[in-house]
Amino acid sequence: MACELPAKLGLPLSRFSRAELRRHALALGIVAEISGVTIWRWLREDAIRPWTRRSWVFPTDPHFTEKAGRVVDLYHRRWNGSRLGPRDFVICADEKTQIQIRSRAHPLTPPAPGRPTRVESEYKRHGTCAYLAAWDVHRAALFGRVVERASIEAFDALVSQVMRRSPYRHARRVFWIVDNGTIHRGDHAIRRLRARWPNLVLVHLPLHASWLNQIEIYFSILQRKARSPDDFPTHEAVAQRILAFQQHYQAIAQPFEWRFTRSDLARVMKHSYQRRPRGAAA
């Protein structure tokens, strides 16, 4: 029973708890009486925890390994089997969309001995904004801009912000690693950006592969250190915090220590397909 989905047993539940298992077993007459402790002991002995869950996503891109492999190679300064030269650069870019602008009903209270920072739970919404950023993988250089919403125009402005600078302006090649978001998706984006910047090479990640984009590492750092807890009354206040942190981080930034290789990728892919649930799309 604990290894069944409750809905298939006619119950309006998403997951079983110990109490629900006991209640259902008694209702069906499987046992005359049983304690929650006994159920807990049985489940523990068999390593069954029906109240837990784990989300999963498996590769759906038929060329996942090929596309991901190109990105992994770039992190290790290789492209099409050859070493990158001193005038080749690798940049990861993405956008954080729908950043909530919220101000608390009462100001944050700083920590004190025996007391953490206090954050008022009530807040007022002031709309949203977006942060577009680019990260030079090997030089640890950071670029970004805050806009009201992500768009093709905003992304192209970020690209221009980077490509107009030295050393990218006169580089041999500047590889831009991006996901498949609408503002830089497909061949249209490749042609659009290459027309303006002939030395730009747009490299698309496979679907469901944001974990291979190094800019996501920086986004997680930004979230932990500068945006949580949030208390910003205006768009300008959020933009000022994000860009000030960007400047602060740039002063101390070092390239991320990327150890993941093609061999690791092959192992992950093999493991993923072995664990694919029955009936999942190939």
Instruction: Output the CA–CA distances (angstroms, integers) from residue 23 to 13, 26, 263, 269, in the order listed.
Output: 13, 5, 49, 42
Mean pLDDT on 251-268: 95
Domains belonging to the chain, first-starting first, are 6-45 (no CATH), 64-262 (3.30.420.10)
Q: What does the alpha-carbon distance between residue 144 and residue 242 come to, in Å, rounded to a whole number? A: 9
Q: Which residues contact 256 (CB under 8 A, 6 or more apart)?
A: 137, 214, 217
Q: Give 61-88 pLDDT, tens digit per residue.
A: 889 999 999 999 999 999 999 999 999 9
Is the pLDDT confidence value at 278 over 70? no
Q: Give 160-212 pLDDT, tens digit per residue.
A: 999 999 999 999 999 999 999 999 999 999 999 999 999 999 999 999 899 99
Instruction: Identify whether the C-beta of residue 13 lies closer than 8 Å to the C-beta of residue 33.
Output: no
Instruction: Identify whether the C-beta of residue 176 lies closer than 8 Å to the C-beta of residue 93.
Output: yes
Per-residue model confidence (pLDDT) at position 276 = 63
Mean pLDDT on 253-282: 81
Q: What does the alpha-carbon distance between residue 262 and residue 278 come to, in Å, rounded to a whole number? A: 27
Q: What is the DSSP letter of 183?
A: G
Instruction: Identify whether the C-beta of residue 179 lies closer than 8 Å to the C-beta of residue 206.
Output: no
Is the pLDDT confidence value at 271 over 80? no
pTM for the model stands at: 0.86
Q: What is the DSSP letter of 115?
A: B
